[in-house]
C-alpha cells in the first residue's frame, strides 16, 4: 500500500471576517500531507509573530501534518514561533501591505521546487498580497488561498468577481501542467447544504450569492465554452454528499452551540487525482482556538512528491 501524506492546514479568521454579517471565515486542515487554516487568533500567533494560543500548539503537535496552511494570519513579519520553525523547515508567509490584515502561510516539511505569491492577470497586486501562495512539488501544485470576501452588504462583490475570474484562469493553467491541490478559506458556501440558513442568506450575505456559487461550480464543472478544461472535486463534499457539517461559526449569538455555521474551508483537487485521497475530515471537536475548525486531508505521498 502506498504511503500516505498528511496535509494539514490550520486556518483562522476573526469573527467578523472583514465585515461579513454572517460567519465568513473557517478553519480547516488538510492531512494529505497538507494542512490548512488557522485559529481565530492568527493560528496562535499575534501580529508581532509571537505565539499566543497554547491550544494551537497542542493541535499542531497532535496532528503532525507534513504541510500546514494558515489563513488570515494578520502577521506583519515572519513569526518567531519555535514550534513552527522547528517542525517545518520550509515556511512561506504572504503578508498584506495593510498592517495586521489578511495573510496566508504555508509551512512544509518538504522543500518545494518553487514558490509564488502572485495571481497572474489580477489588476491590483496589492489586493492579492496576503491571499495566495502556490507551491510546486514534483507531482502537483499546492495552492493555498484566503479568498477575498464580498463584504458587508456585498459592497466588494465586484472585487470578489475579479478575483474569481483570474483565479479560475490561473488554476486551469496550473492543472494543464500538473494536478492541483487547492485548500484554504475559500469564502464560499457552495450549496444550500453548506450553511445552516440558506434561504435567509441567499444573494444577501457574502459567501452565498449567485455570482460566488456559480464561480465555484464552474471551477468544479467547467461550462462547455471552456473546451479542454478538466474538472475539480470538492473532496469533503464528495465523500459526505448529504452531511451538513460546518467549518466556521461566528462568535456572535452562540452560533457554535446552536449549530449555526458555514462550510467555507475545503480541499479541492484535480479530478484525476481524487482517488489518491485517503481521508478528508472536518475536525468538529476542536474548540477554542478559532471561530473556524480545522479540515484535514490525507493523500498518497508519491502523488505530491512525484514519486511512483
Active-site pick, 41, 81, 175, 185: 185
Catalytic status, residue 208: no
- The Cα 73–Cα 269 span in angstroms is 24
CA end-to-end distance (rounded Å), the chain:
12
Report the side by side order of strands in the sheet with 232-234: 114-116, 132-136, 141-146, 180-185, 265-270, 232-234
Q: If we measure between CA atoms, which residue out of 37, 44, 36 comes closest to residue 66?
A: 36
Active-site pick, 59, 66, 81, 146: 146
Catalytic status, residue 170: no
Q: Retrieve residue 223's grid coordinates.
A: 461550462
- The Cα 292–Cα 247 span in angstroms is 5
**Number of Cα atoms under 13 Å in the Cβ half of residue 210:** 1
Distances (CA, A) of 279 to 202, 221, 240: 31, 22, 11
- Name the burial class of residue 82, with classes exposed (0-12), middle (13-18) and buried (19+) by CB atoms within 10 angstroms of its CB: exposed
Which residues are catalytically annotated?
146, 185
Amino acid at each position: 500500500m502506498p504511503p500516505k501524506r498528511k496535509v494539514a492546514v490550520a486556518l483562522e479568521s476573526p469573527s467578523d471576517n472583514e465585515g461579513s454579517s454572517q460567519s465568513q471565515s473557517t478553519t480547516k486542515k488538510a492531512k494529505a500531507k497538507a494542512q490548512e487554516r488557522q485559529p481565530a487568533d492568527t493560528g496562535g500567533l499575534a501580529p508581532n509573530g509571537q505565539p499566543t494560543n497554547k491550544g494551537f500548539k497542542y493541535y499542531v503537535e497532535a496532528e503532525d501534518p507534513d504541510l500546514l496552511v494558515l489563513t488570515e494570519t494578520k502577521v506583519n513579519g515572519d513569526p518567531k514561533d519555535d514550534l513552527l520553525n522547528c517542525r517545518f523547515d520550509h515556511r512561506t508567509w504572504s503578508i498584506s501591505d495593510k498592517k495586521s490584515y489578511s495573510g496566508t502561510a504555508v509551512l512544509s516539511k518538504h522543500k518545494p521546487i518553487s514558490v509564488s505569491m502572485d495571481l497572474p492577470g489580477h489588476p491590483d497586486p496589492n489586493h492579492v498580497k496576503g491571499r495566495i501562495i502556490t507551491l510546486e512539488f514534483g507531482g502537483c501544485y499546492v495552492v493555498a488561498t484566503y479568498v477575498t470576501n464580498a463584504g458587508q452588504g456585498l459592497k466588494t462583490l465586484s472585487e470578489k468577481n475579479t478575483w474569481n475570474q483570474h483565479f479560475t484562469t490561473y488554476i486551469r493553467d496550473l492543472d494543464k501542467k500538473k494536478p492541483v491541490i487547492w485548500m484554504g478559506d475559500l469564502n464560499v458556501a457552495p450549496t444550500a447544504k453548506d450553511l445552516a440558513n440558506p434561504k435567509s442568506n441567499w444573494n444577501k450575505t457574502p459567501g452565498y450569492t449567485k455570482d460566488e456559487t456559480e464561480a465555484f461550480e464552474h471551477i468544479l464543472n467547467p461550462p462547455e465554452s471552456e473546451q479542454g478544461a478538466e474538472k475539480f472535486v470538492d473532496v469533503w463534499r464528495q465523500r459526505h454528499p448529504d452531511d451538513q457539517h460546518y467549518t466556521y461559526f461566528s462568535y456572535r449569538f452562540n452560533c457554535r452551540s446552536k449549530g449555526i455555521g458555514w462550510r467555507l474551508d475545503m480541499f479541492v483537487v484535480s479530478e484525476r487525482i481524487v482517488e489518491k485521497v485517503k481521508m478528508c475530515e472536518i475536525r468538529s471537536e476542536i474548540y477554542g482556538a478559532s471561530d473556524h475548525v480545522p479540515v484535514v486531508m490525507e493523500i498518497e505521498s508519491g502523488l505530491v512528491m512525484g514519486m511512483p
